[in-house]
Amino acid sequence: MVWKIFLFILLAFVSIAGIAFPIVENPQAWYQFPNIPGLEQNARIIFFHVPTAWLTVLAFFMSTVFSFKYLKRKDLDDDLKAYASAQLGMTFCILATVTGAVWAKFAWGSFWSWDPRQTSIFALLLIYGALFALRSSIEGEEKRATLSAVYSIIAFVTVPFFIFVMPRIMKGLHPGSAEDSSAGPVVNFQMNSSMLLIFFLSLIAFTILYFWIWRISYKSLIIKENINKQLIRG
Amino acid sequence: MLTKAIALFKKDFHSELRTRYAINSLAMFIIVAISVIMFAIGQERISEGLTGGLFWVVIFFTAMSGLSRAFVSEEERGTSLTLQLVAAPSTVFTGKLIFNIILVFCMNTIIALLYAALFESFVINNFGLFLLSFVFGNIGLAISSTIIAAIIAKAGAKGTLYPVLSFPILLPLILSSVQLTLFAIDGTSIETAKFELAIVVSYDVIMLTVSYLLFDFIWKD
């Protein structure tokens, strides 16, 4: 119970701080953010967009880890854990794509411009979509678990390629890209210490939130499976 | 193991010669796809960059229309259980992989020849680079589509699911191959393109390893 209150306070603080703290030219007080040229007020998205994108990758990673565990131990609970994580990952993937696209409209002038990061998150969306399409097409429980575990491992292996392939093919607009010199808050550390503090607090809060929802979600899936089995037995 | 795999390949080859299902449908698909593109272009002259991209569009969809046969046919005929009895999973995968690699090479050579004949702007200036990227790209395409075909066959041969599952897996390969084809058309030296070549080669190696590791789980019911 205590940590739920702690998470609530942390998320509330991060949200208020991220939205309301003023951006000034020369930050003096601890609650002031520096003005990053080229981004200005748009820079605030880092507190909410980057954690969702991070969770997309984390959820995919956890899903692959539990897929691997399933293949090793053949325990159907592991498959449900992987499935719950993939569901959450899909949610955060959509959130990251939409928030990123809305931000891009104001920062770059168009919702979608096939920036390397945009293409990568699009590929992740496709992988998640394919995984759910595969799951829904198979009837048998164990067969579904095995095939989707195999597919998510194969998909996970191809992900690192996007990191190397994309920047060579497309020009990067995203803050932190290789060619980006003016507006790279993450890479060049143009953020001051208070901005960094809020950013990392936000990352921690979102990560706790993910593990919490994930736990509830796979527990409910397992309970649902058990009830189904009892109903079938009569 | 290799002799068994080759025997398995021969079995597939002979049954393919008898029905000619994959060859006929692939050949017709190539003609249909290219003629659709020709009709869409009409009298306009398209740029070199666009032909390189369209080349891989045709290759991707042709592969998606024909390569799933390798495993789907076994499930349809109900012969997969017998195959499980007579050969180890890795042997089965090797046999199917050899068959698909040969099929991909035939199919893509025909597509490349047709492109060279029909599109004025499809002129390869650096033939060595094109050949290298063609060979490694085809091997990667064959490996990924074979392992996804195995998944599809076990999932109940859902035809529409095949491109859906394959596209995200093939995306890194297709993107670098399109880039390499553009380099070959522009006449860029192999030295400049070696980063993309390295990506394609490492993709082949990684997918081959992962496929052999995971095929056991797919194949055993």
Answer yes or no: do A157 and B206 touch at CB < 8 A: yes
Q: Contacts of residue A134 in chain B, CB cutoff 8 Å?
A: 151, 155, 161, 165
Spatial separation of the C-alpha atoms in residues A12 and A47, rounded to whole Å: 12
Query: Which tokens hold the place of B204?
Result: 């082949």
A147 vs B154, B168, B210: nearest CB:
B154
B199 vs A137, A143, A165: nearest CB:
A165
Residue of B nearest to A140 (CA): B155
Residue appearing with tokens 């820079």: A43
B176 vs A71, A137, A165: nearest CB:
A165
Number of A to B CB contacts under 8 A, please give it.
Answer: 80
Question: What ipTM was predicted for this assembly?
Answer: 0.90
Average pLDDT, whole number, for chain A?
A: 85
Answer yes or no: do A134 and B151 touch at CB < 8 A: yes
Q: What tens digit of pLDDT does each residue of B39-71 get? A: 988 888 888 888 888 999 999 999 998 888 888
Query: What number of residues does chain A have?
Result: 234
SS (H, E, C) chain B: CHHHHHHHHHHHHHHHHHHCHHHHHHHHHHHHHHHHHHHHHCCCCCCHHHHHHHHHHHHHHHHHHHCCHHHHHHHHHCCHHHHHHHCCHHHHHHHHHHHHHHHHHHHHHHHHHHHHHHCCCCCCCCHHHHHHHHHHHHHHHHHHHHHHHHHHHHCCCCCCHHHHHHHHHHHHHHHHHHHHHHHHHHCCCCCCCHHHHHHHHHHHHHHHHHHHHHHHHHHCC
Judged by a CB distance cut-off of 8 A, whether residue A170 touches chain B is: no
Q: Between A24 and A7, where is the model more confident?
A: A7
Q: What distance in Å separates residue A56's CA from the closest CA in chain B?
A: 16
- Whether A168 and B195 have beta carbons less than 8 Å apart is answered as yes
Residue of B nearest to A163 (CA): B172
Q: What tens digit of pLDDT does each residue of A142-179 get? A: 899 999 999 999 999 988 887 767 766 666 666 655 55
Q: What tens digit of pLDDT does each residue of B189-205 get? A: 888 888 889 999 999 99
Q: What distance in Å separates residue A46's CA from the closest CA in chain B?
A: 27
State how far the alpha carbon of A182 is from the alpha carbons of A21, A23, A37, in Å: 23, 17, 7
Judged by a CB distance cut-off of 8 A, whether residue A178 touches chain B is: no
By CB neighbour count within 10 A (0-12 exposed, 13-18 middle, 19+ buried), where does B1 fall? exposed
Answer yes or no: do A130 and B164 touch at CB < 8 A: yes
Q: Contacts of residue A164 in chain B, CB cutoff 8 Å?
A: 199
Mean pLDDT computed over A134-139:
90
Quick one: CA dihedral B69, B53, B141, A168, positive or negative? negative
Q: Contacts of residue A149 in chain B, CB cutoff 8 Å?
A: 217
Q: What distance in Å separates residue B17's CA from the closest CA in chain A?
A: 31
Spatial separation of the C-alpha atoms in residues B129 and B150, rounded to whole Å: 32
Q: What tens digit of pLDDT does each residue of A174-204 get? A: 665 555 444 444 444 567 778 888 889 999 9
Judged by a CB distance cut-off of 8 A, whether residue A157 touches chain B is: yes
Query: Which tokens hold the place of B52?
Result: 């390189």
Spatial separation of the C-alpha atoms in residues A194 and A30, rounded to whole Å: 6
Poorest-pLDDT segment among A9-13, A35-39, A155-159: A35-39
pLDDT the model gives residue A175: 67
To the nearest 10°, the Cα dihedral for B51, B55, B56, B61? 130
Q: How do the domains of chain B map onto residue ranges?
A: 2-219
Spatial separation of the C-alpha atoms in residues B6 and B137, rounded to whole Å: 23
pLDDT the model gives residue A170: 65
pLDDT the model gives residue A190: 63
- b (16+ CB within 10 A) / e for A12-26: eebeebbeebebeee
Residue of A nearest to B143 (CA): A154
pLDDT the model gives residue A197: 86
A150 vs B172, B175, B214: nearest CB:
B214
CA B103-B105-B108 angle, 5° bins? 105
Q: What tens digit of pLDDT does each residue of A60-114 get? A: 999 999 999 999 999 999 999 999 999 999 999 999 999 999 988 888 888 888 8
pLDDT the model gives residue B195: 85
Phi, psi of A24 (to 5 degrees): -125, 165
The radius of gyration of chain A from alpha carbons, rounded to an integer in Å, stands at 20
Q: Contacts of residue B221 in chain A, CB cutoff 8 Å?
A: 143
- Whether B69 and B21 have beta carbons less than 8 Å apart is answered as yes
Q: What distance in Å separates residue A232's CA from the closest CA in chain B?
A: 23
A154 vs B155, B196, B210: nearest CB:
B210
Judged by a CB distance cut-off of 8 A, whether residue A143 touches chain B is: yes
Contacts with B, A 69-88, CB within 8 Å: 71
Answer yes or no: do A126 and B206 touch at CB < 8 A: no
Answer yes or no: do A153 and B210 touch at CB < 8 A: yes
Q: What distance in Å separates residue B10's CA from the closest CA in chain A?
A: 28
Q: What is the DSSP letter of A24?
A: E
pLDDT the model gives residue B158: 66
B172 vs A71, A147, A165: nearest CB:
A165
